[in-house]
Amino acid sequence: MTAIDMHEADDTAEVPARIALTADVDPRARIGPNSLIWHLAQVREYAQLGSGCVIGRGAYIGPAVIVGRNCKVQNYALIYEPALLEDGVFVGPGAVFTNDSYPRAVSVDGTRKTNDDWQAVGVTVRTGASIGARAVCVAPITIGRWALVAAGAVVTKNVPDYAVMVGVPARRTGWVGRSGHPLRLEDDGVYVCPETGDRYHESEGVLSAL
């Protein structure tokens, strides 16, 4: 991987990752081909990015964070370790993934805490899910496949596959298909995607593709 002019690219063939001159990518990180890392982004040691990822301006990818293929982490999003993003995940601008259940700067005796004084917990985002701008995902939680977390939501509990999560704290307000469009409930109790025609069935709060 090399730092180059980001406007030189040819996206039609597999090429080494393209990294802005002002980005800070640790040499111990693993960056997949066809990935783009933009200005002022930071990718920490032992982080892994799959092929075709886009890391926006000022975004932060913590140590040993794993990001799958074709993910987009938008400007100034903060992905703290030990987060796991599966393939095709979208993280909007300014979103935050936390990693400390009981955050404190100091111990009870007033001494500054170190990395040995706490246990990091992570956010897992399953395939195809989208996290809206300035949403906060409070670890430890799992965001289900193709779920949609609205902008500004604060997610404190696990999110089912295909769920639409809105508010503070976030609650499910509907279902969304793989295309990102809200599903429409038909008379036979089946949910249909108006964009693709894909059909889904809900049972006991779980949505499954038919």
Give the CATH number for residue 35: 2.160.10.10
| Residue range of the domain that includes 25 | 2-178
What would the mean pLDDT of 54-78 be, rounded to a whole number?
Answer: 98
Phi, psi of 6, rounded to the nearest 5 degrees: -70, -10
pLDDT confidence band for 4 (50 / 70 / 90): very low
Domain count for the chain: 1
CA distances from 63 to 46, 89, 99 (A): 6, 19, 12
Residue 197 inside a domain? The answer is no
Token code pair at residue 204: 């006991």
Residue 173 inside a domain? The answer is yes
3-state helix, strand, coil in the chain (%, to 5): 5, 35, 65
What would the mean pLDDT of 182-205 be, rounded to a whole number?
Answer: 92
DSSP 179: T
pLDDT > 60? residue 173: yes
The distance in angstroms from the start CA to the end CA of the chain is 42
pLDDT more than 70, % of the chain:
94
At residue 11, the pLDDT reads 53
pLDDT > 80? residue 172: yes
pLDDT confidence band for 58 (50 / 70 / 90): very high
What would the mean pLDDT of 153-159 be, rounded to a whole number?
Answer: 98
pLDDT confidence band for 1 (50 / 70 / 90): very low
Average predicted confidence (pLDDT) for the chain: 93
Residue 170 inside a domain? The answer is yes
Per residue in 90-100, pLDDT (tens digit) is 999 999 999 99
pLDDT > 50? residue 102: yes
What would the mean pLDDT of 48-77 be, rounded to a whole number?
Answer: 98
Residue 22 inside a domain? The answer is yes
Residue 136 inside a domain? The answer is yes
At residue 12, the pLDDT reads 56
At residue 66, the pLDDT reads 98
Task: Please state the pTM of the whole predicted model.
Answer: 0.91
pLDDT more than 90, % of the chain:
87
Say which residues have a Cβ less than 8 Å from residue 108's Cβ, sequence separation at least 6. Answer: none
pLDDT confidence band for 70 (50 / 70 / 90): very high
Residues 47, 147, 181, 207, CA torsion sign: positive
Say which residues have a Cβ less than 8 Å from residue 166's Cβ, sequence separation at least 6. Answer: 150, 153, 173
Residue 92 inside a domain? The answer is yes
At residue 8, the pLDDT reads 44
Q: Look at 1 and 146; give whichever has higher pLDDT.
A: 146
Q: Rounded distance, CA 48 to CA 25, Å?
A: 11
CA distances from 50 to 31, 69, 165 (A): 6, 4, 27
Residue 203 inside a domain? The answer is no
Residue 91 inside a domain? The answer is yes
At residue 158, the pLDDT reads 98
Q: Rounded distance, CA 61 to CA 25, Å?
A: 9
Pair 4, 25: CB distance under 8 Å: no
